[in-house]
Amino acid sequence: MARVALESTLLLHGVPRESCLSLHAQLCDDVRGAGAEPALIAVFGGESVVGVSACQLEALLSSGTVPKANTSNLGVLLARKAHAATTVSTTMELAARAGIRVFATGGLGGVHQGWSTQLDVSSDLLACTRFPVAVVCSGVKSILDVRATREALETLGVPVVGFRTGLFPAFYQRSLSEASPPTVDATFDNVEELGAFVHAELARTGRGIVVCNPIPEDAEIPAPRFEAWKQEALRMASEAGATGRDATPFVLGRLHAISNGETLRANIALVRSNARLAGAIAAAMPA
C-alpha cells in the first residue's frame, strides 16, 4: 500500500504535549481512511525511523526537549545518538530515501518577516529542490512573510499547485486578503489528475512539489483577529529573545494561549485535511 510521510516537529513542537498522541492517532486514521499507510518520521536514539510507533512517540514526548533537525544538523544528531524531531526538510530527505513520495504537514517553513534586516529562511525551501516528495500543506507557517516565501519558491523553481484553489493559501486563511494575492502555478480539481501529475513530475525531475490545500472553510480564522494575536506573540518572542530554530515553537505556543485554543483547533483541522488529501493522492498514484 502507498505510504504517506508525517513529520515529528509539528507534533513535538507545534502542538501542546497533551494533544500530541491524539493528533498523531487522528492523522494516522485520516491517511488510512483515504487508502494509504501513514509513516511518522523522527530520529530515535541516533536512528532515523520511518514509521515511528506510538510507544516511540511517547518515549520522545517524555524525554525532555527534543531538538529540531533540519538538513544542516541531522547528521550531527545521528552521530551523537540523539533523539530529534524532523522538520519538513529532514522529513522529505528521509521519506525520499525510503521511497515515500507523498508527505502531509501543516505549513512549510519559509522566509521570516523582517528578512531584510535579519535574514531567516528555512531550509525547507531548498529541500523542495532536492528531494522527490510532494508536500501537501496549507501554504507556509502563519508567522512568515507569505508573499516573500511564495516568490522564493518561484525563484527556486519549485512547482506549486493548488487543490481546488488558484490562490496560494495563508495557513489560517484560505488566501491572503490583499489586493492581488499570491497564486499557484496550476489548479487541480480532482485527486486522480493530481495523483497522475505528482507521479509524472516527481519521476521527470527527481525534485519536490508543493501541493497547496487551503484550510477548510469552517475552520478559517478571520485575518484581522489572527493579525492581532500574531503581533502580540511576535512581540513576546522578541522580548524573550526566541530566534532561529526556537522562534516557531515559542510563537505557536503563545498563539495557542492568547487565542484560547482557537489557533490550535484550526491547526488541527488543516493538518487533518492535508493528511486526508495526501492519503488520497498516494492512493491515486501508479505504484
For ligand PSU, the closer of residues 87 and 175 by Cβ is 87
Per-residue binder mask for ligand PSU (CB under 6 A), 154-193, x = binder: ----------------------------------------
Q: Is 24 in the site for ligand PSU (CB under 6 A)?
A: no
Contact residues for 38 (Cβ-Cβ < 8 A; gap 6+): 3, 4, 6, 27, 28, 31, 32, 275, 279
Per-residue binder mask for ligand PSU (CB under 6 A), 112-151, x = binder: ----------xxx----------------x----------
Q: Which of 68, 141, 220, 230 is catalytic?
A: 141
* Residues β-bridged to residue 137: 212
Query: In the bound complex, what is the minimum distance in angstroms from residue 109's beta carbon to ligand PSU?
Result: 3
Per-residue binder mask for ligand PSU (CB under 6 A), 78-97, x = binder: ---------xx---------
Q: Which of 7, 68, 93, 230 is catalytic?
A: 7
In terms of Cα–Cα distance, which of 78, 61, 235 is closest to 143?
235
Q: DSSP letter string over 138-153?
A: SBB-TTB-HHHHHHHH
Q: Give the strand pairing for 160-163 and 47-50.
A: unpaired
For ligand PSU, the closer of residues 109 and 162 by Cβ is 109
Q: Which residue has the cell 508567522?
A: 143
Q: Is 70 in the site for ligand PSU (CB under 6 A)?
A: yes
Which of Mn ion, ligand PSU, none does 107 bind, CB closer than 5 to 8 A by kind? ligand PSU
Measured distance CA(86)–CA(68) in Å, rounded: 6
Query: In the bound complex, what is the minimum distance in angstroms from residue 125's beta carbon to ligand PSU?
Result: 9
- Binding site residues, Mn ion, CB under 5 A: 120
Contact residues for 60 (Cβ-Cβ < 8 A; gap 6+): 8, 12, 42, 44, 52, 66, 83, 85
Q: Residue 172, class by beta-carbon neighbours within 10 Å (0-12 exposed, 13-18 middle, 19+ buried)?
A: buried
Q: DSSP letter string over 58-74?
A: HHHHTSSPPPEE-TTTH
* Residues β-bridged to residue 38: 4
7 in catalytic set: yes
Q: Is 266 in the site for ligand PSU (CB under 6 A)?
A: no
Summarize as ranges the residues that interact with ligand PSU (CB under 6 A): 7, 9-10, 13-14, 70, 87-88, 106-107, 109, 122-124, 141, 245, 248, 252, 267
Which residues are annotated as catalytic?
A: 7, 141
